[in-house]
Amino acid sequence: MRVLIFAVILDLIAGYAHGYANPGACSGACNVHDPSLIRRSSDGKYFRFSTGNKISYASSSSIAGPWTVIGSMLPSGSSIDLVGKDDLWAPDAQLVNGEYHVYYSVSSFGSQSSAIGLATSKTMEANSWTDKGRVGVASDSSKNYNAIDANLFNDNGAYYLNFGSFWNDIFQVTMNSAATKSTSASSNIAFQPSGTHAEEGPYMFKSGNYYYLFYSSGVCCGYDTSRPASGEEYKIKVCRSTSPTGGFVDKNGVACTNGGGTVVLESHDSVYGPGGQGVFDDPNLGPVLYYHYVDTTIGYADGQKRFGWNKLDFSSGWPVAK
């Protein structure tokens, strides 16, 4: 009997060790969808951009808050003349040559008539944004991708724009030295050949000698009206490569272009459907994975999604959420 009890205790400890830590603290305005996080270089203030309200954004003195809503990044909407020009999605905030860039998507839900746009600001203060319009990445029914969910990656001054959602999933183009226009045809860097090809929202981050391609996999939305089968809801996966342009594989060596992908964070405890992620190198915390999620103790509606974050440990060569 003692041996049996000891074995059960070991199993419980092992289960806990392989579990996920709960999200870090968040206070103030914590309801977000598709967050993007950046820290202003001049004073260390944090800014968080998100889907809705023509790109809603907020500021805080720390990643944990208290977050204070500033308002709409582009209150007049986008200059890109597509259905959805007043319904801007999936912002990606980056510092480029001393100027703040936010890449955004113009589309309507489930549509392939989409384009990626850019707004810039020197300060990120309210009413300081200039809409630059299209960056040269767009899609329609003739394409094998959907031009949404952009993420700019800077590799020592060489800029790459990763993007994509469903269809043939995740693609990449090169950008000019100002990171304002694409300069190449698109190449496919991640693809799930089975099912509905439910991969989207890429985010690239370099740690050590590896480039890590994070992305969201599964059903993102509408959990309050139609819950997906268990395990088919949003989760965050990753592949890595020694090059930013391809050759991404998961922990088991399976190519990311052939369904590969190692889970970084998935539903656990009261956290459901984490995704819409990015990675931020915090000066105090180190690498941080941030995302939105449903808190099942609050509600499943898209408007109830919360801002979550966890520290990332790359010491094993693969990111582990702490």
For 127-159, how does the pLDDT look when each residue is reduced to its tens digit (9 = 90+)? 999 999 999 999 999 999 999 999 999 999 999
pLDDT at residue number 91: 98
Residue ranges of domains in the chain, CATH in brackets: 35-321 (2.115.10.20)
**Would you call 200 a catalytic residue per the annotation?**
yes
pLDDT at residue number 26: 98
Question: Of 34, 149, 199, 302, which is the active-site residue?
Answer: 34
Rounded to whole angstroms, the Cα distance separating 292 from 33 reads 6
Mean pLDDT score of the chain? 94
pLDDT at residue number 69: 98
pLDDT at residue number 85: 82
Name the residue with tokens 């989760």.
235
Would you say residue 8 has pLDDT above 60? Answer: no
Would you say residue 11 has pLDDT above 50? Answer: no
**Would you call 34 a catalytic residue per the annotation?**
yes
Average pLDDT for residues 160-167, to the nearest whole number? Answer: 98
Question: Of 87, 149, 199, 200, which is the active-site residue?
Answer: 200
pLDDT at residue number 108: 87
For residue 129 the two structure tokens come to 């944004």
Average pLDDT for residues 309-319, to the nearest whole number? Answer: 98
Considering the chain, what percentage of its residues have pLDDT values greater than 70?
A: 94
The beta-carbon contacts of 259-263 under 8 Å, at least 24 apart in sequence, are 259/191, 259/192, 259/193, 259/194, 261/190, 261/192, 261/199, 261/215, 261/217, 261/237, 262/237, 262/238, 262/318, 263/235, 263/236, 263/237
pTM: 0.94
User: Which residues is 263 bridged to in the sheet?
Assistant: 237
List all residues 6 or more positions away from 244 whose beta carbon is below 8 Å from its beta carbon.
153, 155, 158, 160, 204, 206, 211
Rounded to whole angstroms, the Cα distance separating 197 from 213 reads 17
Would you say residue 295 has pLDDT above 90? Answer: yes
